[in-house]
Structure formats: structure tokens, C-alpha cells
Amino acid sequence: MSFFQDTLSIFKKRDLLFLERYKESEDIYTFLFEKDIDLTWKAGQHGLFTITHKKIKNAIRPFTLASAPTEKTIKITTNISDTPSDFKKAMLELEKGMKIKMSGPVGSFYLKDNSPTLLIAGGIGITPYRAMLKQIETEGDGVGKQIHLLYINSKNPFFYKDELDAIANNSSIIVTYLDSRDELLQEMDKFTSLNKDNGKYFIAGPKSMVDSISTYLQNKSVSKRNIKKDAFFGY
């Protein structure tokens, strides 16, 4: 069913009004857009964004929505280097009141049940989890959920840290910040030893990280059906 819903959603494009952007760190930017009243999605999904204020090649790019559907704005956070693509140059040209098109949101990267869940984020891969945890906070059902977020980011500050800490302080959700892969694997091993293949595993971050962590989990007897992946590509 989700496949057909995604297909229908992709064909429905809407204009989003640009509100503002700000820096999270030296090369990480957050963009905020006005949200239509009738627009909804499952926290963790991504939209397909199209540049419309100028003609460029490859004018469509996917971005995970870092905002929960209960919030009043659409938030996306992305890396923009000193030599950005034409798409990201166009993103930086957006001024308040200008528009961008979005179709979707689509994808199956979202929480579906109350199974013990391990969320693994690498760098900018924290964006879908920010949406998931904000949605849980808004719905007020964070107490009793067995969710552990492992957030590794060795080169940049931990994005959304204040928000994540506030959610963890008022729920049973655990957030662990990590600086090295060894620490990450140790924390993963703790979770798999307790929950084995009864848990659900979400991995978001650079494709190389997502693939290696998925392989590591499968070698720990975690089945593919219990692993959800969201690989972030650079462009």
C-alpha cells in the first residue's frame, strides 16, 4: 500500500514559501519553508524538492524533512560546501517570499510499532530522527517507548542537541552522543545482545556508513527485514 501512496504523492507537487535559512555550523545550513495546512507526512520521510526560480541541470533533489508533521514549518538541513552544486547554489539564492516546489513526502523510513528500536545517525543523518522524536514529544507518548538514539559525529557539532536532550529528559528515550566508530559498535552490541532480532534498526547517514553498519548488524544475526536504511548522498 505504501508504494501506491508514494506514487500518488510524487505526482502531487506544491509550492512552498521560503521563510529563512541559518547556519548550524560552518558548512551546514537549515532552510525553513511555510507548511500548507493540508500537508502531512510520517516523521522520517523525505520530499522531492525542485528549484523553480532559475533553470539548472538536475533541478530536483530529495531531502529528508527534519520537522515533524505537527510542526508549523517544513525544515530541511543539508551540507553546503565551498564548491556547491548548481542546486545548492540556487538554494543559497532563495530570499524570503520566493518559492520552491516539493512533491511527496515519500519513503518507508519511519516508526511503525513499539518494538525496541535502535536509531543510528551519522552526521547529517540525524535529520529524520529529529522529526521522529519531535513527533513523539508532541504526541506525548514518549514514556514507555524503548528507543535508543546513537548519534556519531566526529567532525562537526551535534546538530539539534538541545532539542534532543530536552526530549530525552522528558521521556524514556535514550540519546547517546559518540565520537568514534569503536564507541558506536560497542553501543550497538549492547542493544543487539539484549534484543537480537526482536528489535528494529534504523540507520541514516553517508551511504558508506549505512552499508557497513547494515552488514555489521546482519553479521550479528539481525535480519534485513528489521533494518531500515536512509543513505545520504553528497551533491
Q: Residue 160 gets which letter from DSSP?
A: T
> Between β-strands 174-178 and 73-79, what pairing exists: parallel, antiparallel or unpaired?
unpaired
pLDDT digits (tens, 9 = 90+) for 146-184: 999 999 998 778 999 999 999 998 888 999 999 999 999
Assess whether pLDDT exceeds 60 at residue 235.
Answer: no
Beta bridge partners of 228: 202
Which pLDDT score, from 0 to 100, does residue 158 have? 92
- Is the dihedral angle over the CA atoms 107, 199, 210, 27 positive or is it negative? positive
pLDDT digits (tens, 9 = 90+) for 5-52: 444 555 578 999 999 999 998 889 999 999 988 899 999 999 999 999
Rounded to whole angstroms, the Cα distance separating 74 from 89 reads 20
C-alpha of 215 from chain center: 21
This prediction's pTM: 0.91
pLDDT digits (tens, 9 = 90+) for 45-95: 999 999 999 999 999 999 999 999 999 999 999 999 899 999 999 999 999
What domains appear along the chain, each with residue ranges and CATH number?
Answer: 2-106 (2.40.30.10), 117-232 (3.40.50.80)
